[in-house]
Amino acid sequence: MVMENETKNFIEQIIDKDLAEGVYDHVQTRFPPEPNGYLHIGHAKSILLNYGLAQKYQGKFNMRFDDTNPTKEKSEFVESIKEDVAWLGADWEDRLFFASDYFETMYECAVLLIKKGKAFVCDLTAEQIREYRGTLTEPGKNSPYRDRSIEENLELFENMKKGLYKDGEKVLRAKIDMASPNINMRDPVIYRVAHMSHHNTGDAWCIYPMYDFAHPIEDAVEHVTHSVCTLEFEDHRPLYNWVVQECEFDHPPKQIEFAKLYLKNVVTGKRYIKKLVEDGIVDGWDDPRLVSISGLRRRGYTPESIRMFVEMAGVSKSNSTCEMPMLEYCIREDLKMKRPRMMAVLHPLKLVIDNYPEDQVEYMEVQNNQENPDLGVRKVPFCKELYIEQEDFMEVPVKKYFRLYPGNEVRLMNGYFVTCTDIVKDEDGNVIEVHCTYDPETRSGNGFTGRKVKGTIHWVSARHAVKAEVRLYENIVDEERGVYNDEDGSLNLNPNSLVVLKECYLEPNLAEAAAPESFQFVRNGYFCVDSKDSSPKHLVFNRIVSLKSSFKIEQK
Ligand code: ATP
Ligand code: MG
């Protein structure tokens, strides 16, 4: 279990101080995704962090789409992001905002900057602007257009807005300091011309604000107090502060950076996930092998497990990497007590009990979860012909093999002891049927205290079982070779990342299972009904995670 950590993280310490000093009288956070892809596990950290802070300080949490760049944004992404954030439990109530709704305000802020002599229209090309910018070791050069009069700038900016210029012909730049050691402060571009339709504002605008200008305004307009973002924006903070100050916002927001969540050997970045989707390597953004939120959901992860993971990962200012086994640990922990433990055979082998009456069926009463009696009991049919796992039988047993082999006796879980008496092979010599006899005295739950057996195996009744497809997953990349190919930067794909088992047999209690239900299949792991492909006629299950863990939680 995760211990409640009494010490506050560095962001909470900043907030405490701000509240104590009266810098702010409330706490307001936001999650500001750009709708240019689906969310992933890294975003979950940002969502739960921002939402959690608002909760903790009885503040407000805004859901805001940072949709100021029409080139890559789509409504499909807006819808998926809303679904994912809601699913994670971050409730924005009626506080759903779109940065594009503030285009007018941003425009007015730009005009204000021009009037204050703090912004100018520049005719340099993108390439020239880059050349003039200088480097980390050399200062930049002033643009020859830097000293245009306020009147001229106002007129040219108005013309930009009216659509008199082609894309890239003119930009509006903040007038700050071309010699600043921080390159972000060297007269950054704040508006550009782009003749493009926007998913929200259509053709109303042909000038669009740049991120570094738009973002602080969005925060300020919404009265955000603590604008939490990731470390790569640290160098942008002086510009953030410059914008909110020069645009004269009261109680301006404060930017705080934290370290991104990285998962070792896992494809996390939106850009990389997008490429896997576009190249058809995965079955869409919600492929269960992806750590997109929708992929994790389809894989059977719960919001609780993701919350536990994010809490264990913690909030810090220095980059660190988490391991996938930690996430797997969290879903096992979450499902352990909550889900019934069912019997399902993934690689079937027929087992025939020769001395069991042909037409007899017994209904074995089985506890749904041995560790949680609250989940109740169910009945599982038992009869003469069963399926067991192929790996639970060996014709010639290896050392320490305690399961079924000729002459050996094992326990059928929730059933009887059986002893293997004979086998049937096909023409190729494969064992296709195992014969045994059972001892009627040994029925499970009947208080049999006679001899002991070392092996217990699970089974399903051949006559009653329901057939299902089961999908087993591994990492989409080959961990041995690392995520990226050294030569060309492509992904090192794992050819076994998806294994489809077409003929699995499940106990009949699973016949009506439907997404998002999930179960433990005893000895095989946790499985969920696939939300996309499963139907009552053709059940499809995804393995969420196996039962064995390679992750050790450090106990204090
Ligand atoms: P990616 O890095 O995958 O392309 P992004 O940063 O471009 O993602 P945005 O939509 O801009 O995606 O991000 C929305 C919010 O989520 C931002 O505040 C961003 O800092 C945060 N975020 C993105 N990736 C991570 C991560 N790996 N860990 C924590 N927060 C993240
Ligand atoms: Mg981004």
User: Is the confidence at residue 18, as pLDDT, over 60?
Assistant: yes
Place of tokens 């021009």: 114
User: Rounded to the nearest whole angstrom, what is the distance from the C-alpha of residue 377 to the centroid of ligand 2?
Assistant: 49
Residue 556: predicted pLDDT: 40
> Once rounded to an integer, what is the mean pLDDT over residues 437-441?
96
Structure tokens at 154: 């106002």
Residue 5: predicted pLDDT: 52
User: Rounded to the nearest whole angstrom, what is the distance from the C-alpha of residue 35 to the centroid of ligand 1?
Assistant: 11
Q: pLDDT tens-digit profile of 142-198?
A: 999 999 999 999 999 999 999 999 999 999 999 999 999 999 999 999 999 999 999
The CB of 33 under 6 Å from ligand 1? The reply is: yes
Report residue 75's pLDDT band, with 50, 70 and 90 as the boundaries. confident
User: Is the confidence at residue 546, as pLDDT, over 70?
Assistant: yes
Report residue 553's pLDDT band, with 50, 70 and 90 as the boundaries. low
The CB of 254 under 6 Å from ligand 1? The reply is: no
Compute the Cα dihedral for 460, 401, 524, 332 and give only its sign.
positive
- Ligand 1: which residue has its CA nearest to atom 14? 33
CA 210 to chain centre: 28
> Once rounded to an integer, what is the mean pLDDT over residues 13-18?
97
Residue 1: predicted pLDDT: 38
> Once rounded to an integer, what is the mean pLDDT over residues 333-341?
98
Q: pLDDT tens-digit profile of 248-301?
A: 999 999 999 999 999 999 998 888 899 999 999 999 999 999 999 999 999 999
Best residue among 38, 230, 275, 320 to mutate for probing ligand 1, ranked by most atoms within 8 Å of CB: 230
The model's pTM: 0.93
Q: pLDDT tens-digit profile of 291-328?
A: 999 999 999 999 999 999 999 999 999 888 999 999 99
Q: pLDDT tens-digit profile of 207-221?
A: 999 999 999 999 999
CA distances from 552 to 1, 45, 229, 330, 353 (A): 12, 22, 30, 11, 42
> Once rounded to an integer, what is the mean pLDDT over residues 2-29?
88
User: Rounded to the nearest whole angstrom, what is the distance from the C-alpha of residue 71 to the centroid of ligand 2?
Assistant: 13
Considering the chain, what is the average pLDDT of its residues?
95
User: Rounded to the nearest whole angstrom, what is the distance from the C-alpha of residue 34 to the centroid of ligand 2?
Assistant: 6
User: Is the confidence at residue 490, as pLDDT, over 90?
Assistant: no
Report residue 484's pLDDT band, with 50, 70 and 90 as the boundaries. confident
3-state DSSP of 282-343: CCCCCCCCCCEHHHHHHHCCCHHHHHHHHHHHCCCCCCEEECHHHHHHHHHHHHHCCCCEEC
CA distance 340 to 376: 9
Secondary structure letter of residue 442 according to DSSP: G
Ligand 1 atom closest to the Cα of residue 47 is 16
Q: pLDDT tens-digit profile of 379-437?
A: 999 999 999 999 999 999 999 999 999 999 999 999 999 999 999 999 999 999 999 99
Which listed ligand is nearest to 230 at the C-alpha? Answer: 1
User: Is the confidence at residue 245, as pLDDT, over 60?
Assistant: yes
> Once rounded to an integer, what is the mean pLDDT over residues 367-371?
97
